């Protein structure tokens, strides 16, 4: 290690030799003035939001592996948090999607969200989903949101959706279909 001057070298060597004591002193000082120090840094963070964020980003970029390790360790100490977050986000997205397409079954008017799902109006949902390379559910909803809720989809309850899928019509709309009796 090179030093700018002989004094600095001596000072640093002294510090290294008494590192433990210095650290203890620092810790003591911190504990004694904890409230004030925390308030100060909080105030700084609030008045220098952009700088703080930029610094954090810079640090993360430079220490990617280390930072990722911390995140991983945090999740290990808090099991289930990520899973819960993902579940909540999925539920929110589903709610948002159903709301964007009218919030009720387009056929029978069912409004309980548990019964509702998104249906491709001309019945080629799975083909289209294959084409856009995403499976159903969450990814499909995400695709819809990303594309600003495109036309051609509607909300159906599982009853109406299944009936359409199996029989090509929903009995709600075909009360007089003659061969219904033989189903």
Torsion sign (Cα): 128, 132, 134, 140: negative
Instruction: Provide the minimum distance between the beta carbon of 94 and Zn ion in the complex, in angstroms, as a whole number.
Output: 17
In the structure encoding, which two tokens stand for residue 129, read together?
A: 């989903």
Q: Which is nearer to Zn ion, 141 or 161 (CB)?
A: 161
Q: Cβ(157)–Cβ(110) under 8 Å?
A: yes
Q: Is 172 in the site for Zn ion (CB under 5 A)?
A: yes
* Piece of the chain touching Zn ion by CB under 5 A; list 18-26, 49-57, 81-89, 101-109: 101-109
Considering only residues 10 through 69, tell me which ones interact with Zn ion, judged by CB under 5 A: none
The span from the CA of 119 to the CA of 130, in Å, is 15
Q: Which of 97, 101, 107, 118 binds Zn ion (CB under 5 A)?
A: 107
Instruction: Provide the minimum distance between the beta carbon of 54 and Zn ion in the complex, in angstroms, as a whole number.
Output: 51
Q: End-to-end CA distance of the chain, in Å?
A: 88
Q: Is 160 in the site for Zn ion (CB under 5 A)?
A: yes
Torsion sign (Cα): 32, 34, 37, 40: negative
Q: Is 119 in the site for Zn ion (CB under 5 A)?
A: no
Instruction: Provide the minimum distance between the beta carbon of 156 and Zn ion in the complex, in angstroms, as a whole number.
Output: 6
């Amino acid at each position: 290690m090179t030093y700018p001057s002989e004094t600095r070298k001596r000072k640093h060597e002294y510090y290294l030799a008494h590192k433990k004591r210095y650290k203890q002193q620092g810790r003591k000082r911190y504990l004694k003035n904890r409230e004030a120090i925390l308030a100060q840094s909080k105030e700084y963070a609030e008045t220098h939001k952009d700088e703080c964020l930029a610094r954090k980003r810079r640090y993360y970029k430079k220490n990617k592996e280390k930072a990722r390790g911390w995140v991983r360790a945090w999740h290990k100490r808090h099991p289930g948090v990520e899973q819960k977050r993902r579940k909540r986000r999925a539920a929110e997205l589903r709610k948002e999607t159903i709301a964007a397409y009218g919030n009720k079954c387009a056929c029978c008017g069912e409004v309980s969200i548990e019964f509702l799902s998104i249906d491709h109006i001309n019945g080629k949902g799975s083909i289209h989903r294959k084409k856009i390379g995403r499976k159903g559910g969450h990814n499909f909803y995400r695709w819809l949101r990303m594309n600003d809720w495109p036309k051609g989809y509607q909300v159906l309850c599982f009853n109406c959706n299944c009936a359409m899928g199996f029989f090509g019509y929903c009995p709600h709309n075909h009360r007089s279909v003659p061969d219904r009796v033989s189903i």
